[in-house]
Structure 1
Amino acid sequence: MQTYHVKRLPAEFEPQSFVQLIFPHADSDWAPYLDEACQTFARIAEGVARFQPCLIVCDDIARVQRYVAPGANLRFVQCDTNDTWARDCSGITVETTEGCLIQDFVFTGWGGKFEAAKDSAMTMAIAQHYGAPVASHRFILEGGGIESNGEGLLLVTEECLLNPNRNSALTSRAEIEAVLSETLGVERTLWLTSGYLAGDDTDSHIDTLARFCDANTICYVQCTDAADEHYHALQKMERELQELRNDRGEPFTLVPLPMTEAIHYDGERLPATYANFLIINGAVLVPVYNDPHDDEALAVFKTLFPGREIIGIDCSILIRQHGSLHCVTMQFPDCVTLRCPQ
């Protein structure tokens, strides 16, 4: 077996080859409102396809093609899955001294909360469609739990990566950091101990809370309402972000994102967050929720990404299943060639 020497984990804001989606189906938790969910996924796929290829993993290609407008940048592959959270069960691409490598980690449905065996097997099942080798690992890791600045720094939360429901044999930061260094080329891990969203199943994935917009800029969810249940945790997270330093010993440029009003469905508060955006070539897809703060959030993104088109995608349906736009997508950097017929 070839040995790969991992150099780094590319950032999302770097050039990409394609974005991968997993389409909802009748045997998933989307069943009660499947048609609405499929329409939302179609809007995401079409938004991506305006700028780069989009690979749609699905149970039935003919069924899914009825939802999306035909286009050269839409590709389809048939594969059985439990659900649709591509961010967390897809491979994570790294650069090595031997070229790009897709790291296939174990996905357990966020610590065994949901059945995920088919999702965890998906990457190897469709590996022939990637123009890069795939390496399997026994380590449990979800793409939504890590945020790379492309220069060796990784932003994570303790609540997720140190949670005993993931890698129970690894109990310290140092042990987790050793795996991240070996598999992702991480030089330094930046840990947050605070921050959460009500209704979140992921144990505080970083991509719901704080994101790199460039190597030195972090946008984050800010709560200014002292009556909101998130206020104290997110205020503490904000202070932790202010204390972080880059490799030059300098603070990061921090840009706050608004919180939505409390959004409820079936009696529970949903984890609506503008931090769950997707950066692609030439654009940023931003989740919106028919909320009074949508326009404010979109205006922030226009200042954060002046060279990219800002596209709002209504994700009101997605948050019913406790995720949003970034959670259902996975980007692959431009070193990975998509080998899938149109």
Structure 2
Amino acid sequence: MPAETAAHDAAWMAWPSGSYTLGDTPAEADEARRTWAAVANAIVDFEPVHMLVPPSERAAAARFLDERVTVHEQLLDDAWYRDIGPTFVVQGEGSDRRLGAVNWVFNGWGQQDWASWEHDAVASLVATEATGAARIDSPMVNEGGGIHTDGAGTLLVTETVQLDPGRNPGWTKADVEAELTRTLGARKVIWLPRGLTRDSERFGTRGHVDIVATFADRGVVLVHDQRDPAHPDHAVSRELIALLEAETDADGKPLHVVRLPAPATLRDDEGWVDYSYVNHFVCNGAVIACSFADPVDEEALAVLADAYPGRRIVPVDARPIFARGGGIHCITQQQPRVQP
């Protein structure tokens, strides 16, 4: 699995269509559509974008999406293509390089009682077939938001996701690592004990790694830094930062940990927020970054600019996405370039 910072041939997304994603009013529905479209329309300035859209939403999508976005009609339960789409890999070397697509088992983030996944369970096949990628089926329940890689065999995961009894009952760390080696070429798996507090509650993913830590480069890890002791994620950040600062990559080299500050906003109407600048999407020549109309936005975007030199930082207000359970990274999935 290449790093997200490697060149892409395209990005893949899914249009909001589920009841809670679209909300209870026309205004809430248009807020979701407008925000998903804002992300797609930002990315398409830098690389092609493919969007899965259910038939009932074709007209609405056409109102908001840039005409350069390619639409694929597909029934959906939800709109998080990072999790329901394939994880793309590159197989072979040199002129023999070819695209592969790992199709995980998807079961609604561990069979959550509020989730449905009849259509989402097969939505990964849309991108797999459209790209002509070699299909790699996995028996492991997993989501794209539950993994990050440096592109050289080092992977970040969380114990609360891959070892979740609602996902993979009876699986051990050794089982998970063997499957990540087979499918993604993992050489070392770094296990974080958990994710953020809000994401660990009823309507969360039970701890996706892509909201707490990511690789900006080989050996460089950006980590969510909740600096306010009033927020329960303050303790989570301290634990994860200490763990990662003591870790090495697959080549035995110490990790350089960069603290990415959490927003100053601590709560919304539902409780402690899990707003995170870590949940950004790296595309060709740019970083599509979460913003929150928050006093820390400017500082965090500057950290991202330093972490990704030469890339344009493009902020998008991610509050409507987080209100529905995720962020910019959660709704995007990269298709790596096969030929250099």
TM-score by length of 1: 0.90
> How far apart, CA to CA, are the structure 2 residues paired with 1:152 and 1:235?
26
> How far apart, CA to CA, are the structure 1 residues paired with 2:273 and 2:161?
19
Hey, what does 1:311 align to over in structure 2?
A: 314
1:180-259 equivalences under 5 Å are 180-200=180-200, 201-259=204-262
Hey, what does 1:29 align to over in structure 2?
A: 21
Question: Aligned in 2, Cα 1:27/1:192: closer, same or farther, shift over 3 Å?
Answer: closer
Instruction: Quote the offset at 1:250 in angstroms.
Output: 2.6
> How far apart, CA to CA, are the structure 1 residues paired with 2:153 and 2:252?
14
Greater CA drift, 188-197 or 205-214? 188-197
> How far apart, CA to CA, are the structure 2 residues paired with 1:26 and 1:150?
33
1:39-78 equivalences under 5 Å are 39-60=34-55, 61-71=58-68, 74-78=69-73
Greater CA drift, 95-104 or 306-315? 95-104
Asked if the contact 1:195–1:236 (Cα under 8 Å) also holds between the matched residues in 2, the reply is: no
> How far apart, CA to CA, are the structure 2 residues paired with 1:189 and 1:225?
30
Counterpart code for 1:128: E
Deviations 1:128-178 (A, max 9, x none): 3113222333211100101111101111111211111111031x2111111
Instruction: Quote the offset at 1:115 in angstroms.
Output: 1.0
> How far apart, CA to CA, are the structure 1 residues paired with 2:266 and 2:33?
21
What SS does the corresponding residue of 1:321 show, helix, strand or coil? Answer: coil
Deviations 1:204-262 (A, max 9, x none): 11100000001111001112222221122210111001010124433111111111134
> How far apart, CA to CA, are the structure 2 residues paired with 1:265 and 1:237?
24
Counterpart code for 2:143: E
> How far apart, CA to CA, are the structure 2 residues paired with 1:258 and 1:293?
7
Question: Aligned in 2, Cα 1:153/1:126: closer, same or farther, shift over 3 Å?
Answer: closer
> How far apart, CA to CA, are the structure 2 residues paired with 1:173 and 1:120?
24
Question: Aligned in 2, Cα 1:144/1:96: closer, same or farther, shift over 3 Å?
Answer: same
Instruction: Quote the offset at 1:320 in angstroms.
Output: 0.9
Hey, what does 1:4 align to over in structure 2?
A: none
Counterpart code for 2:296: H
Counterpart code for 1:50: D
Counterpart code for 2:107: T
Question: Aligned in 2, Cα 1:325/1:265: closer, same or farther, shift over 3 Å?
Answer: same
Question: Aligned in 2, Cα 1:267/1:103: closer, same or farther, shift over 3 Å?
Answer: closer
Question: Aligned in 2, Cα 1:131/1:28: closer, same or farther, shift over 3 Å?
Answer: farther
1:1-342 equivalences under 5 Å are 9-25=1-17, 27=19, 29-32=21-24, 33-60=28-55, 61-71=58-68, 74-97=69-92, 99-113=98-112, 114-125=115-126, 127-170=128-171, 172-200=172-200, 201-335=204-338
Asked if the contact 1:26–1:34 (Cα under 8 Å) also holds between the matched residues in 2, the reply is: no
Gapped runs of 5+ residues in structure 1?
Answer: 1-8, 337-342
Counterpart code for 2:158: T
What SS does the corresponding residue of 1:93 show, helix, strand or coil? Answer: strand
Counterpart code for 1:38: R
Greater CA drift, 42-51 or 54-63? 54-63
What SS does the corresponding residue of 1:317 show, helix, strand or coil? Answer: helix
Counterpart code for 1:331: Q
Counterpart code for 2:162: L
Q: Which runs of 4+ in 1 moved over 6 A?
A: none
Asked if the contact 1:194–1:236 (Cα under 8 Å) also holds between the matched residues in 2, the reply is: no
> How far apart, CA to CA, are the structure 2 residues paired with 1:70 and 1:100?
26
What SS does the corresponding residue of 1:34 show, helix, strand or coil? Answer: helix
> How far apart, CA to CA, are the structure 2 residues paired with 1:70 and 1:254?
40
Instruction: Quote the offset at 1:195 in angstroms.
Output: 4.2
Asked if the contact 1:194–1:234 (Cα under 8 Å) also holds between the matched residues in 2, the reply is: no
> How far apart, CA to CA, are the structure 2 residues paired with 1:42 and 1:332?
19
What's the Cα RMSD here? 1.7
Instruction: Quote the offset at 1:287 in angstroms.
Output: 0.6
What SS does the corresponding residue of 2:242 show, helix, strand or coil? Answer: helix
Amino-acid identity (%): 29
What SS does the corresponding residue of 2:21 show, helix, strand or coil? Answer: coil
> How far apart, CA to CA, are the structure 1 residues paired with 2:146 and 2:207?
8
Counterpart code for 1:21: M
Deviations 1:321-340 (A, max 9, x none): 1201000111110129xxxx
Asked if the contact 2:199–2:206 (Cα under 8 Å) also holds between the matched residues in 1, the reply is: no
Gapped runs of 5+ residues in structure 2?
Answer: none
> How far apart, CA to CA, are the structure 2 residues paired with 1:222 and 1:139?
31
